Amino acid sequence: MKNFNEKLSKQLLTYFKNQSKDFENLLKKLVSFQTFSKETKKINLFLDYLEDLFSTYHPRIERFHTDNGDILKLSHFSQNKDFLVLLSHVDTVKVSDYFVPIKIRGEKFYGNGCYDMKSAVLLFYFALKAIEKFSLPINKEI
């Protein structure tokens, strides 16, 4: 079993390294959505995009309407009572009345919401991609 885990760990590491350009491009896309706190229509449009993005993995989708923008719940995999919660938010703080341009300098990425929290949404997405690609056994609902 140890050799299997070491081999899988190396495969996953290689896989994620090979996904870095796709991750960067998709992060640019997510950050280009202006989802300022309390701008409900823009937040909900972004959630529409996320629903479409994650639909590849056939999640159960639930949306809860609030005055500050919807809450999107995507449930994946097991029907087990045990579960794992991956939690994020997509609203951002408005720092300017103008669009803040996305910048990449070396290995640093700058843009409204790129670290808090749109990159977390992408980590969830790429984790789901890896789970499917490598047929990883999941014994909890995510």
> How does pLDDT run across 40-84, given as a tens digit for each residue?
999 999 999 999 999 998 888 999 999 999 999 998 876 777 888
* pLDDT tier, 3 (very low <50, low <70, confident <90, very high otherwise): low
pTM check: above 0.85: yes
**Mean pLDDT, the chain, integer:** 90
Mean pLDDT computed over 108-125: 91
CA distances to 2, 65, 124 from 69, rounded to whole Å, are 46, 7, 21
* Residue 19 pLDDT: 96
109: nearest Cα among 99, 96, 100: 100
| pLDDT(17) > 90 | yes
Give the SS3 label for residue 75. Answer: strand
* Residue 22 pLDDT: 96
d(CA 82, CA 139): 8
